[in-house]
Amino acid sequence: MDLRAELLKSIWYAFTALDVEKSGKVSKSQLKVLSHNLYTVLCIPHDPVALEEHFRDDDDGPVSSQGYMPYLNKYILDKVEEGAFVKEDFDELCWTLTAKKNYKPDRNGNSVISHQDAFKLWCLFNFLSEDKYPLVMVPDEVEYLLKKICTAMNVELNSCELDDYLSQEPQGQGGLTVWQFLDMVNSGRFLRGIEQEAISMAVEEVYQEVIEDGYLWKKGQLRRNWSERWFMLKPSALSYYMSEERKEKKGSIVLDKHCCVEVLPDRDGKRCMFCVKTSNRTYEMSASDTRQRQEWTLAIQTAIRLQAEGKKSLHKDLKQKRREQREQREQRKAAKEEETQRLKQLQEEKERKLQELELLKEAQRQAEILLQEEEQRRRQQHEEMQRTLEIQLREAEQARASMQAEMVLKEAEAERQRKRILELEDMQERLQEALQQEVKARQDEEAVRYAQARLLAEEEEKLKQLMKLKEEQEEYIIKTQREKQVLKQEMENKNKCLEEAQKQLEEVRVNRQRVDQDVMAAQRKLRQASTNVKHWNVQMNRLMHPIGPGDKRTNVSGGIFAGYQPLLSRRDSSLK
């Protein structure tokens, strides 16, 4: 978590505290005061022109958090320098604004923690909360913080009771807000029987451990005297100040991978000594007790390791690891659920396959029964077919004998058919001539129809002209009602033209009747030709009919020649 994200969390609480109506917007005058205070605590040069210009009084109304963010980023957060201000003063400003509205301790004075302890827990909550708004602390981080406090008091936390409490809260599974967390601590449910002073010391110890600062005795380089200094540890440097207000910085020890920490024996009246060796100098320091020395040496060694690894803070690193562990647990849980679901699906698939196998076995038994029945039926059909073939073989032998007798008769019949074919060929030639005449008649009919269509088109054109003349006449009649005397002569001329058009129409009608008569005559010729063709076809089909074995040849030939006489007479009449 970088400095900007830490500052935004505290500013978010201050902004929401100013949102009295909970509409997500704050008045410009309140934001102006908030921005001015942020300038002060963050030790940023004031820019009154930009402040007045951005928050001038107009009719735009209150500003939302999204509307305030551009000014906050440009004029405040972009100008913040780490180490140039006291982080605790900045947190106290935001805490003061939000605690007035949201923090409600016991009015009877029975609160488990003091107001200052609540502020430190609020800072620890901001450090451990998720980077999502609204800010919440997940149950694992709640348990981690409470365990740290209980460990500092040598008390064991009841995790089951904490799980029960979180399960009873409506939003406990997703995380607790800072006010829910403070109410839980103030309820005394997890810190019952412990004095407020012990709780304050434990909170202070955890706060100092996470913030990584505290008092140490430091030996001077020139005067070699011992002075008490307030030390603040960062992965990149160990800074020391005159007091915990951190207003006057005395110096800084740059930490890198070449630095090391060593424990020194007691001397010069000082105990619990240790030193920090850099490439240029060795810094000797003294802690108040052995436990504090161990904590400081471990913290400085961890800071050197984090600096070599390019990380910012031990607790931030631990927080990130806990978050990764939570994500891994959730992934494993999701994978386990997915595996369970997959196994369930496999079990269902197995049961379904077993059912299908039973159905297949039953179908196989039915198929075997049907196969046996089919085999028996085929065997019966084969026996019947064999008997039928034997009968057919005997019949074929009889038919062969009869066919040989028939062959003699067929040869004689073939001779007669050859003669008949010659006669039919002659008849075919005559039919070809009749067909050519019919084609010619059809061509004549097509020409007559074309002429008739042309006359009809001309008649239609004349009718259109006549209708047009009538329409013009009607228009002239309407237009010339008032000018009847003047246009009388013109009207007579139009009537003459109309009469001439009518005469032309009569002539067209006479021509149409004449063409209709020609068409009818051509149709009669076509019908006559069709009749002749049908007659020749009938005669040809009669000649094509085979002669039976019992027919007399003389009668057949006489019938053929007898049928030629009316056919020839009809042909002569049609040709005429």
CATH number of domain containing 286: 2.30.29.30
| DSSP-assigned beta bridge partners for residue 226 | 219
Residue 126 domain flag? no
Q: Is the predicted pLDDT of residue 278 greater than 60, yes or no?
A: yes
Predicted local distance difference test score (pLDDT) of residue 220: 60
CA distance 343 to 339: 6
Pair 24, 64: CB distance under 8 Å: yes
3-state secondary structure 233-300: ECCCEEEEECCCCCCCEEEEEECCCCCEEEEECCECCECCEEEEECCCCEEEEECCCHHHHHHHHHHH
- Whole-angstrom Cα distance, residue 287 to residue 407? 141
| The pLDDT value given to residue 369 | 92
Residues 405-411: contacts with CB under 8 Å, at least 24 apart: 409/549
pLDDT tens-digit readout, 2-23: 678 888 888 888 888 888 777 7
Asked whether residue 62 is assigned to any structural domain, the reply reads yes
pLDDT digits (tens, 9 = 90+) for 296-318: 888 788 778 777 776 655 566 66
Given 33, 60, 85, the domain boundary residue is 85
Q: Which helix (H) or strand (E) holds 28?
A: helix 28-41
- Please provide the average confidence, as pLDDT, over all residues in the chain: 79
pLDDT at 569 over 50: no
* CA separation, residue 73 to residues 11, 35, 65, 84, 126 (Å): 12, 11, 12, 18, 20
- Cα 128 to chain center, whole Å? 37
Taking residues 337-351, report their average pLDDT.
89
pLDDT at 549 over 70: no
- The answer, as to whether pTM is greater than 0.75, is no
Tell me which of 278, 312, 346 is where a domain ends.
312
**Residue 215 predicted with pLDDT over 70:** no
| 3-class SS of residue 73 | helix
Q: Please, are residues 287 and 272 in contact by the beta-carbon 8 Å criterion?
A: yes
Q: Does 576 have pLDDT greater than 50?
A: no
Least confident of 122-136, 218-232, 319-333: 218-232
pLDDT tens digit string along 392-434?
Answer: 888 988 888 888 888 888 888 888 888 889 888 888 888 888 8
Q: What pLDDT was estimated at residue 555?
A: 43
Taking residue 274's Cβ as centre, other Cβ atoms within 10 Å add up to 19
Whichever domain contains 75, its CATH number is 1.10.238
Domain end point (choices 283, 312, 341): 312
pLDDT: which is higher, 548 or 523: 523
pLDDT in tens, 32-52: 888 888 888 888 887 777 777
Lowest mean pLDDT among 153-157, 219-223, 402-406, 504-508: 219-223
Q: Which residues pair with 137 in a beta bridge?
A: 176
Per the structure, the count of domains in the chain is 3
Alpha helices per DSSP H over 60-129: 65-75, 87-102, 115-128
Residue 220 lies in a domain: yes
Asked whether residue 413 is domain-assigned, the answer is no
Residues 501/466, Cβ–Cβ less than 8 Å = yes
Whether residue 276 lies inside any domain: the answer is yes
Whether residue 202 contacts residue 115, with contact meaning beta carbons closer than 8 Å, is answered with: no
Query: In 3-state terms, what secondary structure has residue 132?
Result: coil
Average confidence (pLDDT) over 20-32: 80
The yes-or-no verdict on residue 574 having pLDDT over 60 is no
Residue 109 has a pLDDT of 57
Cβ neighbours of residue 254 closer than 8 Å, sequence gap 6 or more: 236, 237, 278
pLDDT band at 558 (very low <50, low <70, confident <90, very high): very low
Query: Quick one: pLDDT band at residue 56, thresholds 50, 70, 90?
Result: low
Confidence of residue 170 (pLDDT cuts 50, 70, 90): low
Do 242 and 250 meet the contact criterion of CB atoms below 8 Å apart? yes
The pair of three-digit structure tokens given for residue 450, joined into one six-digit string: 């074309």
Amino acid at 528: Q
- How far is Cα 290 from Cα 303, in angstroms, rounded to an integer? 20
Tokens 């003459």 — which residue?
496
Residue 547: pLDDT band with limits 50, 70, 90: low
Cα 95 to Cα 14, 17, 233, distances in angstroms: 7, 10, 24
In a domain, 91, yes or no: no
Residue 192's pLDDT band (boundaries 50, 70, 90)?
low
pLDDT for 575 equals 39
d(CA 363, CA 357): 10
User: Which pLDDT value is given to residue 57?
Assistant: 56
- Higher local confidence (pLDDT), 451 or 269: 451
80/7 Cα distance (integer angstroms):
10
> How confident is the model at residue 312, as a pLDDT?
58
Q: 488 or 510: which carries more pLDDT confidence?
A: 510
Indicate the pLDDT class of residue 107, thresholds 50, 70 and 90.
Answer: low
Does residue 107 lie within any of the structural domains? no
Q: According to the model, what pLDDT value does residue 207 have?
A: 76
Contact 552, 457 (CB under 8 A): no
Tell which wins on pLDDT, 558 or 548.
548
Give the whole-angstrom CA distance, residue 187 versus residue 165: 12
- What is the DSSP code string of 498-532? HHHHHHHHHHHHHHHHHHHHHHHHHHHHHHHHHHH
Could you tell me the residue range of the domain that residue 30 belongs to? 1-85
Asked whether the beta carbons of 344 and 336 are under 8 A apart, the reply is no
Position 391 in a domain = no
